[in-house]
Amino acid sequence: VYHCAVSPDRKLIASCGSGEDRNLLIWQWPQAAVGLTLQGHRRSAVHAAFSPDGRSVASTDLEGTLLVNDLGSGSCTLQRTLHLGAAHTTCYCQNDPNLLCTAGADGFLQLLDLRAQIPAPAQRPASTVANCVEFSTVLSTRAAH
């Protein structure tokens, strides 16, 4: 398991795995039972984040691809390759569940407005590899490393 994320209501846990399945498991807590298996990554999923409203989960993989899944239906609502190499992390804007940011091995931050599903111009921070990102106000990066 590469990463685990907890839903805002603390009832679900997303785990990113490796191996042949390359899937994302959504666990029900505290039952410790798999409620959903989300597929679609061609390489291992390495990071996941729940939307602030708990309706969707975003995941990134070693290929640089972002998937967004609706938790009500389990369906993939967005699949897009955003990075050259691994997409190390993703996060939702805490103030707006429609804004999502990814950081990748290519050193770029990608900001998406899920309503438009068109990425904004990539932002390159000072480092050569972007490992994590977090932001909490609309269109403002709070931290990137």
Could you report the per-residue pLDDT of 94-130, keeping only the tens digit for each? 888 888 989 988 888 888 888 886 666 666 665 555 5
Q: Which of 67-71, 91-95, 126-130 has the highest mean pLDDT?
A: 67-71
The pLDDT of residue 145:
46
DSSP state string for 52-99: TTSSEEEEEETTSEEEEEETTT--EEEEEE-SSS-EEEEEEETTEEEE
Given CA atoms 22, 27, 32, 33 in this order, what sign does their dihedral have? negative
Distance CA 115, CA 125 (A): 25
Range of the domain at 35: 3-144
In 3-state terms the chain splits into helix, strand, coil percentages (rounded to 5) of 0, 50, 50
Query: Into how many domains does the chain fold?
Result: 1
| Residue 128: DSSP 8-state | S
* CATH (domain of 32): 2.130.10.10
The pLDDT of residue 49:
97
pLDDT in tens, 45-56: 999 999 999 999
